Amino acid sequence: MIILLQGATATACCVAALFFLRFWRTTRDRLFLFFSLGFWVLAVHWAVLGALDVRAEHRHLYYLPRLIAFLLILIGIADRNRRQRR
């Protein structure tokens, strides 16, 4: 059941990444690009966890891709706010 949920989460992240990529292509706003990249990182992360069937997810290395993804999203938000102030 866990593997099924990880696959569903990876699929949902891929769909979100594709939506943000489409929004970026129409608006050329970098916020959408950063969101898309963040969700791609999360999609790969969940797919790898599902493929490797990792049971000991409490190890700190498994959280590194999540940290990278959320940092990308935060960088996108900060970049957008910085550009709006100019």
How far out from the chain centre does Cα 52 lie? Answer: 19
The whole-angstrom separation of Cα 23 and Cα 6 is 26
Q: Tell me what the mean pLDDT of segment 38-66 comes to.
A: 86
Could you tell me the sign of the dihedral formed by the alpha carbons of 35, 36, 38, 39, in that order? positive
**Are 32 and 24 in contact, with CB atoms under 8 Å apart?**
yes
pLDDT category of residue 61 using cuts at 50, 70 and 90: confident
Give the other-Cβ count within 10 Å of 45's Cβ: 21
Question: Helix (H, G, I), strand (E, B), or coil: what is residue 60?
Answer: helix
Average pLDDT over residues 54-58: 67
pTM of the complete model: 0.88
